[in-house]
Amino acid sequence: MLHTRSAWLRAAAPVAVLALALTACGGNKDASSSAPTPGSGADDGKNSADAVAAADEKSPQSSEAPEPSGGVLRPGRSGTGQYKEESGKTTYEVVAQKVHVGTEAEARKVVQSPEDAKGLVAVTAYVKFTNKGPGIVKGLPKVDNGTEIYADGQRGGLLIGAPESLPGCEDPIDIDNWQVGESHIICQTYMIPEHSTSLEVHWGEEGAARPFIWKFDGAG
């Protein structure tokens, strides 16, 4: 796994809320992590936002120009799009770096009703955002609201109160006056069926006709 179970549970809110219901469930075998992104590697307990960003910068893919519009991207490849913040439209360079897949047992411990997590696992997407202007993002950024996780073509259920303080994840509440050229890794967690065979991280402004899509291996 990319992170230990204890770290996931320790960082979680006392009771997370499953915001969106799923229409399908998987089996009940432990899920495995998927991390075919550059610089993700195996978990050694030392992951941090700086370490992940440094690994991304060293990747051969990082030298490629960002994709200018929505579409399917290779893991680790960045795209550029706009998002409406309180301080106005902001252009971001966006890249889904990796995902962390938990287990059903973990999921049962962080939702209000354990039955809500039957056959499901929590998946956390690590997404790096770089402010490209035209100005400072003042106040609480909302750009991470454009991140969604799909399993086998179906959107998962957003887990509100999920552990944003996992190693390598930054809490948007702590980000203020986001400067042009500055990058942050903001995570989103969704619940998906346990034995999904494919995972996709989507990002785009609400109602976007063509979001960016990064494809990863499934939950096992």
Q: Which of 133, 137, 126, 219 is nearest to 175 (CA)?
A: 137
Listed in sequence order, the DSSP H helices in 24-117 are 49-58, 104-110
Structure tokens at 93: 């360079």
Tokens representing 60? Answer: 């051969």
pTM (two decimals): 0.72
Q: Is the peptide bond before 38 cis (omega within 30 degrees of 0)?
A: no
Which run of H or E residues covers position 93? strand 88-101
Q: Where exactly are the structural domains of the chain?
A: 5-60+74-207
pLDDT in the model for residue 165: 59
Under DSSP, the state recorded for 138 is -
Record the tokens describing residue 198, joined without a space. 């494919």
Kind and range of the H or E element at 208?
A: none
pLDDT in tens, the chain (220 residues): 333 334 444 444 444 555 543 333 333 333 333 333 333 333 333 333 333 333 344 333 444 566 656 899 988 899 999 999 999 999 999 999 999 999 999 888 878 788 888 999 999 999 999 999 999 999 999 999 999 999 999 999 998 876 555 789 999 999 999 999 999 999 999 999 999 999 999 999 877 778 999 999 876 6
Our CA angle for 61, 85, 50, nearest 5°, is: 40
Q: How far apart are the first and last CA of the chain?
A: 12
